[in-house]
Amino acid sequence: MVFWRKTKNEKALEEEAREEALLHPKGEPALEPPTESEPELKAEFVDEELEESTNDIIDDWKMQPTPDHTPSEDADEYEDLKDHTNEGGWFSRLTKGLSKSSSKIGQGIADIFTKSKLDADSLQDLEDVLITADLGPKTAGEIVQNFSARKFEGDAPVEEIQTALAEEIAKILEPVAKPLEVQKPDGGPFTVLVCGVNGAGKTTTIGKLAYNWHIVPPHQKVTIAAGDTFRAAAIEQLEEWAKRAHAPLVKKEIGADAAAVAFEAYEQAKKDGSEILMIDTAGRLQNKANLMEELSKIIRVLKKQDENLPHAVLLVLDATTGQNAHSQVSAFKEAVNLTGLIVTKLDGSAKGGVVVSLAQEFGLPIHAVGVGEKETHLSPFKAEEFAKALVGLKD
Ligand SMILES: Nc1nc2c(ncn2[C@@H]2O[C@H](COP(=O)(O)OP(=O)(O)O)[C@@H](O)[C@H]2O)c(=O)[nH]1
Ligand SMILES: [Mg+2]
């Protein structure tokens, strides 16, 4: 009996360690414990508690006041902050960012097709190149299969192969390349819950989105909720972004119940007539179960306001984690109803091909991609441009 129990515990421990490694890859900084109070992770959500909070909370809300500013000041600021030296615009920034991925593919194609013709062997080599570039075996197989049905002129120069490959990749990306459409419903703000593992780029992406929606015309009104109550630094970081985007931030003390922050932020955004509410969340709690329970709880609590909430549940993925992004999508999909993805750090990622395998595997909309740390470094995801940049075509 004792032995049986021991084995079971070991199995459970192994399973936990596997899940941990999946959500938090090696090299990630150690978990920062809450400094001021214990997070109320286990506290079950109580109706009365919330009813009380809706009535009494207004005095307690720690709202960051919206600084005085006019739309024309916002427009001036936007001009000033606009990355005038952005290396020739979005496409060249993406191309440059993806150069580590595209040089693998471009060089691979050159190596194969300068020596041999398009035949079964060279197609097999091409498949290998695509797999190494993180497109995944399934996607690589499919692309190569479609490829073999294509007609190439003469000995098919490298650029012709690149162009054909970009077309195949764009076909996979086209159905998922959908901008995030914000439609403010009557009554409250369009509510976006943002989730993802620690360091994926959630807070930065919220900052960039808030900036784009508010500072850039037509200046939509955005409220941000500091739902990552686990780390003091997370709240401060969001505060900085909220200031930059002139967006009111609803926050509570460190360790506060994230669901209560979300609930109150929704109330406040509704009262203020905000068009959009974005809710930041923790990327790491004690373990995966805690993390997923916290997300589910935020959603349950929002649904008490309106059953259509949240209108969007975005998963932010760091492109540099490569195929690990697949495991993250699967893990979050189990807990929440993901409506779309945002892939960050495509500037400098050698694993940009993962975007293609994500599109193929999950078919979830990819709304935008992050290509840098500044407010202007978020761009709508465009299938054809991405495909061209990934294979190393110049435009
Ligand atoms: N190069 C680059 N860095 C990014 C991008 N998005 C986020 N980051 C950086 O990644 C780090 C983690 O981002 P953060 O938003 O704090 O992640 P969170 O833990 O998911 O909230 C920060 O240093 C960000 O500046 C991106 O698109 N490109
Ligand atoms: Mg964060």
- Point out the ligand 1 atom lying closest to the alpha carbon of residue 228: 21
pLDDT digits (tens, 9 = 90+) for 87-145: 456 677 888 889 888 988 988 998 988 888 888 889 999 999 999 999 999 999 999 99
Nearest ligand, measured from the Cα of 284 = 1
Classify strands 366-370 and 340-344 as parallel, antiparallel or unpaired.
Answer: parallel
Distance in Å, CA 271 to ligand 2 centroid: 26
Which residues place a Cβ less than 5 A from the ion ligand 2?
A: 202-203, 234
Distance in Å, CA 281 to ligand 1 centroid: 14
- Point out the ligand 1 atom lying closest to the alpha carbon of residue 280: 21
pLDDT digits (tens, 9 = 90+) for 152-165: 766 678 888 899 99
Nearest ligand, measured from the Cα of 370 = 1
Kindly tell me if the per-residue pLDDT of 208 is higher than 80.
yes
- Point out the ligand 1 atom lying closest to the alpha carbon of residue 316: 20
Secondary structure (H, E, C), the chain? CHHHHHHHHHHHHHHHHHHHHHHCCCCCCCCCCCCCCCCCCCCCCCHHHHHHHHHHHHHHCEECCCCCCCHHHHHHHHHHHCCCCCCCCHHHHHHHHCHHHHHHHHHHHHHHHCCCCCCHHHHHHHHHHHHHCCCCHHHHHHHHHHHHCCCCCCCCCHHHHHHHHHHHHHHHHHHHECCCCCCCCCCCCEEEEEECCCCCCHHHHHHHHHHHHHCCCCCCCEEEECCCCCCHHHHHHHHHHHHHCCCCEEECCCCCCHHHHHHHHHHHHHHHCCCEEEECCCCCCCCHHHHHHHHHHHHHHHHHHCCCCCCEEEEEEEHHHCCHHHHHHHHHHHHCCCCEEEEECCCCCCCCCHHHHHHHHHCCCEEEEECCCCCCCEEECCHHHHHHHHHCCCC
Distance in Å, CA 53 to ligand 1 centroid: 33
Classify strands 378-380 and 366-370 as parallel, antiparallel or unpaired.
Answer: antiparallel
- Calculate what percentage of the chain has a pLDDT beyond 70: 79
Q: Confirm if 245 and 214 have CB atoms less than 8 A apart.
A: yes
Distance in Å, CA 7 to ligand 1 centroid: 40
pLDDT digits (tens, 9 = 90+) for 12-52: 778 777 777 766 666 655 544 444 444 443 444 444 444 43
- Give the residues surrounding ligand 1 with Cβ less than 6 Å away: 196, 198-204, 237, 283, 316, 344-345, 347-348, 370-373, 377
Q: What per-residue confidence (pLDDT) applies to 358? A: 97
- Point out the ligand 1 atom lying closest to the alpha carbon of residue 196: 20
Nearest ligand, measured from the Cα of 231 = 2
With a CB cutoff of 8 Å and minimum separation 6, the contacts of 200 are 283, 316, 317, 318, 328, 344
Which residues make beta-bridge pairs with 251?
A: 62
pLDDT digits (tens, 9 = 90+) for 245-282: 999 999 999 999 999 999 999 999 999 999 999 999 99
Q: Which residue has the higher pLDDT, 59 or 99?
A: 99
Distance in Å, CA 315 to ligand 2 centroid: 13
Distance in Å, CA 122 to ligand 2 centroid: 45
Residue labelled with tokens 């797999």 = 131
- Point out the ligand 1 atom lying closest to the alpha carbon of residue 369: 27
Q: Confirm if 195 and 295 have CB atoms less than 8 A apart.
A: yes
Best probe residue, ligand 1, of 212, 237, 318, 344 (max atoms within 8 Å of C-beta): 344
Q: What per-residue confidence (pLDDT) applies to 117? A: 81
Q: What per-residue confidence (pLDDT) applies to 71? A: 62
Phi-psi region of 167 (alpha: psi -120 to 50; beta: other; left: phi over 0): alpha
Q: What per-residue confidence (pLDDT) applies to 292? A: 92
Nearest ligand, measured from the Cα of 241 = 1
Distance from C-alpha of 7 to C-alpha of 151, rounded to nearest angstrom: 58
Distance in Å, CA 199 to ligand 1 centroid: 6
- Calculate what percentage of the chain has a pLDDT beyond 90: 58
Distance in Å, CA 108 to ligand 2 centroid: 37
The 10 Å Cβ neighbour count of residue 118 is 20
